[in-house]
């Protein structure tokens, strides 16, 4: 590791600073947003309004800070059936390949385990190779695919938080052995 690189601190946060966080998200997802914005006129007005009275799990946010400057983030929430959904993450392009995303994943694994989750799941565009590779290296497995009018083809990744759950999952998904 380069001695000139400041250490990164990953910590829970109530909210991210605005407008800095929105600017950071736009920088991280610029290429994906361009593709999405091109498709937006075709899907404008098609989303159903959110029903009132819905109860959502609280959002949990982690920030990766370098000298108190936000350089990466992840947020998510508990879903039904004690699965933690990792909804959105990003690391500044200039800070990638330094273990920041892995540190964020590790913080989420600790949180989800303490919260009683049996798995963590996430969905990603199939062209987001850096995130897909990082998560596969951390033990996530491909658990499904879907289509999104906004994001295109998505791959679902799941990390089982116990060996027993992983074995049961593999037995159900891959029941036929040669």
Task: Render pLDDT for 123-148 as a digit per residue (tens, 0 to 9).
Answer: 999 999 989 999 999 999 999 999 98
pLDDT value at residue 42 = 45
From 67, 155, 77, select the one nearest 120 (Cα to Cα): 77
> Alpha-carbon distance 75 to 65, whole Å?
15
Are 72 and 63 within 8 A, CB to CB?
A: yes
DSSP letters along 72-104, please?
EEEEEEEEGGGEEEEEEEEE-GGG-SSSHHHHH
User: How far apart, in Å, are the Cα atoms of 1 and each of 5, 6, 28, 67?
Assistant: 8, 10, 23, 17
Asked if the model's pLDDT at residue 156 lies above 90, the reply is yes
Q: Identify which has the larger pLDDT, 4 or 172.
A: 172
Mean pLDDT of 58-75: 92
Mean of the per-residue pLDDT values for the chain? Answer: 83
Q: Contact at 8 Å (CB) between 138 and 102?
A: yes
Span 74-117, pLDDT tens digits: 999 999 889 999 999 999 999 999 999 999 999 999 999 999 99
Q: The tokens 């938080």 sit on which residue?
A: 161
Looking at domain 8-39+56-173, does it have CATH number 3.40.50.720?
Answer: no
Q: What whole-number distance in Å separates Cα of residue 134 and Cα of residue 141?
A: 11
Tens of pLDDT, residues 23-52: 887 887 776 665 544 544 444 444 445 455
Delimit the domains of the chain by residue range: 8-39+56-173
Torsion of CA 130, 134, 139, 144, to 10 degrees: -20
């Amino acid at each position: 590791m380069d001695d000139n690189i400041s250490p990164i601190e990953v910590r829970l946060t109530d909210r991210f600073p605005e407008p800095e966080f929105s600017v950071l998200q736009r920088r991280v997802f610029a290429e994906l947003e361009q593709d999405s914005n091109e498709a937006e006129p075709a899907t404008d007005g098609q989303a159903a309004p959110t029903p009132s009275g819905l109860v959502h799990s609280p959002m949990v946010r982690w920030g990766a800070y370098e000298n108190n400057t936000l350089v990466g983030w992840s947020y998510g929430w508990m879903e039904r059936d004690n699965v933690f959904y990792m909804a959105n993450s990003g690391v500044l392009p200039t800070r990638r390949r330094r273990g920041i995303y892995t540190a964020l994943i590790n913080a989420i694994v600790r949180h989800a385990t303490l919260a009683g989750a049996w798995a963590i799941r996430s969905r990603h565009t199939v062209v987001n190779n850096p995130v897909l590779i990082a998560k596969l290296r951390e033990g996530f497995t491909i658990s499904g695919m879907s289509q999104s009018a906004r994001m295109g083809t998505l791959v679902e990744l799941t990390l089982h938080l116990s060996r027993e759950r992983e074995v049961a999952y593999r037995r159900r998904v891959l029941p036929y052995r040669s």
